[in-house]
Amino acid sequence: MPPRKRPFIAGNWKMNLTRGEARTLVAEVIRASRSLPEAEFVLFPPFTLLAEAASLTLGSPAGLGGQNLFWEDKGAFTGEISGPMLADLGCSYVVVGHSERRQFFGETDETVQKRTSAGLRAGLRPIVCIGETLAERESGRTWDVLKRQLDGGLAGFEDAEFRRLILAYEPVWAIGTGRTATPAQAEEAHAFIRARLQERYGKEAAECAIILYGGSVKPANAYALFRERNVDGFLVGGASLEGASFNEIAAEAVRAYKEVK
């Protein structure tokens, strides 16, 4: 049985918000991060808002990360952002391999591995996203897909590197669709992922690994999802754009955490 971990609540703003909107939202999340110390809050604004968010979150419990990074540290790569640049801005995390990157920007398991490696090199904690499409689930290929994405995305990482990674299970059919995995579906996938991690890195490292669920997480489903033993937190998209819904998701996770700890 993995130990119950404090809820890790990540907000992926995607390509949304301007500076004024971001200021209000960050202030609301900082307030919640102070009143809910059991939860770990981390925000993933678009690159244009990172500097602003970094100055606002400085000294608060809320953490910050980038939504992507390039695998080289610097050079002639117009339009790209590197790990050292994110670290320099005050980021501690970076999302890698989000399904929208895989779907629209040609991300593969190999490039996920390279970006993850670059994030680690820069001292960031990468959140590596994996998840099956609806067609893959319906044709019974979910476990093959998750295994392939895990093996490819994490290829070559040693124990100490693995321990700095966070995994996010995000079934593509649940992202932005309003359709959430049931708690039982999420638990089944998370348990599968943890078992696979255990084969590679051993029981203790696998049990310590943080595995987030993402896919239409809302205040109404956060409690039931977090009650599942292998769900350690959430990567929230749409509902992270409103302070009230994001903070309520955290509060619901904390409520479940206190009950099942």
* Residue 215 engages ligand PEP in binding (rule: CB under 6 A): yes
**Nearer residue to ligand PEP within complex by CB, 102 or 196:** 102
Shortest distance, position 257 Cβ to ligand PEP, whole Å:
20
CB 196, CB 128: distance < 8 Å: no
Q: Which of 8, 11, 12, 190 binds ligand PEP (CB under 6 A)?
A: 12
Q: Site size for ligand PEP, by CB under 6 A?
A: 13
Q: Which of 237, 247, 249, 250 binds ligand PEP (CB under 6 A)?
A: 237
* Residue 249 engages ligand PEP in binding (rule: CB under 6 A): no
* Residue 216 engages ligand PEP in binding (rule: CB under 6 A): yes
Query: Segment near ligand PEP (CB under 6 A), from 1-9, 19-27, 83-91, 209-217?
Result: 209-217
Query: Segment near ligand PEP (CB under 6 A), from 25-33, 134-142, 182-190, 213-221?
Result: 213-221
Q: Containing H/E element for 130?
A: strand 125-130
Single out the catalytic residue among 40, 132, 136, 170: 170
Angle between helices 219-226 and 183-201 (to 10 degrees): 50
Tokens describing residue 84 = 């050292």
Query: Segment near ligand PEP (CB under 6 A), from 115-123, 134-142, 184-192, 237-245?
Result: 237-245
Query: Segment near ligand PEP (CB under 6 A), from 64-72, 113-121, 187-195, 215-223?
Result: 215-223
Angle at 93 between CA 87 and CA 99, to 5 degrees: 125
Q: Which of residues 165-194 bind ligand PEP (CB under 6 A)?
A: 170, 175-176
**Nearer residue to ligand PEP within complex by CB, 201 or 212:** 212
**Nearer residue to ligand PEP within complex by CB, 119 or 201:** 119
* Residue 221 engages ligand PEP in binding (rule: CB under 6 A): no
Question: What residues act catalytically?
Answer: 98, 170
Residues of this chain that interact with ligand PEP (CB under 6 A) are 12, 170, 175-176, 214-217, 235-239
